[in-house]
Amino acid sequence: MIAAKTQNAVNFTEVFSTRTGAVYQCDRERCWYIDFAGKLVKFDYRGLMKLKTSIYRVNIEALLLDNSKSPEIEMVFICACNHCYFLNLLQIIALKELLEGTFVMLELNQIIHDRLSRIVI
């Protein structure tokens, strides 16, 4: 499934990928595509920041220690985005890992731009 989705994304620049998913940037549309949990979803800047906030806010430790028989499913719904994620605990950990890596790479990209193309002589 992931491979099929990835093929659609060959025109994009890969920002970061793990065994469970990948994030691509589309310069022309100024947005990101997240290939995760069997679907490819487009996020603009605000959407990506909101996704980051909602995933980072999940208390993974509390879910791990939860003894109740409730299913470990979290629904991640981003306002003004047509998609939502239904994720189990392992998927939340995986998506968090994917986003953490993505933001490190985006920060690195900013440092490279600052050093190479924004030099004031």
Partner 1 sequence: MKDIMRIKSLLSTDIEALLNQQIKKEAHSSALYLAMASWCNQNGFDYSSDYFSKQSDEERYHQLKLFKYVLDMGGSAISPEVSGIKHDYTSLREVFEDALEQEVAITQSFKNIAANCMKEQDFVTFEFLNWFMKEQREEEYKARRALELFEVIGEEGTGLWEIDKHVNKIKYDSEAAE
| Binding-site member from 8, 38, 39, 46 for partner 1 (CB under 8 A) | 46
Q: Which residue has the tokens 């998506």?
A: 95
CA–CA gap between residue 82 and residue 87 (Å, rounded): 16
- Binding-site member from 8, 27, 95, 101 for partner 1 (CB under 8 A): 27
Query: How long a stretch of residues is the chain?
Result: 121
User: Residues 54-83: x/- map of binding to partner 1 (CB under 8 A)?
Assistant: ------------------------------
Q: Which is nearer to partner 1, 66 or 107 (CB)?
A: 107
Report how far residue 65's alpha carbon sits from residue 43's, in angstroms, rounded to the nearest whole number: 32
Residues between 78 and 107 with contacts to partner 1, criterion CB under 8 A: 103, 106-107
Alpha helices in the chain (DSSP H): 2-8, 45-57, 60-65, 89-116
**In this chain, which of 45, 64, 66, 77 binds partner 1, going by CB under 8 A?**
45
Q: What backbone phi and psi angles, to 5 degrees, belong to 120?
A: -95, 120
CB of 13 to partner 1, least distance (A): 5
Measured from the Cβ of residue 32, the count of other Cβ atoms closer than 10 Å reads 22
User: Residue count at the site for partner 1 (CB under 8 A)?
Assistant: 16
Q: Which residues bind partner 1 (CB under 8 A)?
A: 13, 15, 25, 27, 30-32, 45-46, 49, 103, 106-107, 109-110, 113
